[in-house]
């Protein structure tokens, strides 16, 4: 009798599939062809609140005219804001309205990090067929589309963005690109940079709705020297 598949995140028996990215980022009703990885319920359904929180902020950031991000916000996020005051307050707490009418929203970085941790674990499993191991790699995320009040952080982000842009230009053949099922517009795409495979550091550059950009750095931990 064949063994049940194991969860991409924890190795427990998988009874469901995690979509890459979550289906909630797409308009409802489409016959989507998305990548999936085996998942236990805890590492699929239990993170749906963080999925919705991130979708709200990304769709607000990316909405332009009548584009796909605006449609997703109107169909999926706006009704929740009306029905769930706690969700509305979570999004708008400590927001600042500028003189031009634009609004700056404070974001919960722990929720952002949790979402991208899950996404990177799933992408890693899809690519290598084994769970991401935090004993061999650290995992961190750089949010190019978020504003920071820390000058040092802004400088670090600008340097990383320049380095990645230069790498895309000079080493295009070393980058594997993935584009999720599109509906007229691109919802999600990534660039996977791993010329030495999982034995070395890996970079995954994510783009949502063509404008919201994040780089995930899966940095190889130093090997312990022999005694």
**Where along the chain do its domains lie?**
16-104, 115-220
Residue 192: pLDDT band (50, 70, 90) is: very high
Distances (CA, A) of 173 to 23, 30, 178, 192, 201: 30, 33, 14, 11, 18
| Tens of pLDDT, residues 91-134 | 988 788 876 767 888 899 999 999 999 999 999 999 999 999 99
| Tens of pLDDT, residues 144-174 | 999 888 888 889 999 999 999 999 999 999 9
| Tens of pLDDT, residues 20-71 | 899 889 887 666 788 999 999 888 877 788 999 999 999 999 999 999 999 9
**173-182 own/partner pairs: CB under 8 Å, 24+ apart:** 178/35, 180/20, 180/21, 180/34, 180/35, 181/26, 181/30, 181/32, 181/33, 181/34
């Amino acid at each position: 009798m064949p063994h049940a598949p194991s969860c991409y995140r924890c190795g427990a028996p998988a009874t469901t599939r995690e979509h890459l990215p979550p289906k909630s980022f797409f308009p409802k009703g489409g016959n989507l062809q998305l990548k999936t990885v085996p998942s236990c319920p805890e590492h699929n359904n239990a993170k749906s609140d963080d999925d919705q929180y991130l979708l709200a902020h990304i769709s607000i950031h990316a909405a332009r005219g009548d584009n796909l991000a605006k449609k997703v916000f109107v169909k999926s996020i706006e009704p929740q804001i009306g029905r769930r005051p706690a969700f509305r307050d979570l999004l708008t707490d400590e927001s600042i309205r500028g003189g031009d009418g634009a609004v700056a929203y404070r974001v919960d970085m722990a929720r952002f990090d949790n979402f991208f941790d899950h996404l990177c674990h799933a992408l890693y499993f899809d690519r290598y067929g084994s769970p991401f191991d935090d004993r061999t790699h650290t995992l961190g995320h750089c949010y190019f589309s978020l504003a920071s009040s820390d000058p040092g952080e802004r400088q670090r982000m600008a340097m990383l963005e320049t380095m990645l842009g230069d790498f895309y230009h000079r080493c295009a053949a070393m980058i594997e690109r993935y584009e999720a099922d599109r509906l007229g517009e691109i919802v999600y795409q990534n660039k996977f940079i791993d010329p030495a495979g999982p034995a070395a550091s890996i970079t995954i550059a994510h783009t949502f709705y063509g404008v919201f950009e994040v780089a995930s750095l899966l940095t190889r931990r130093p090997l312990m020297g022999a005694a």
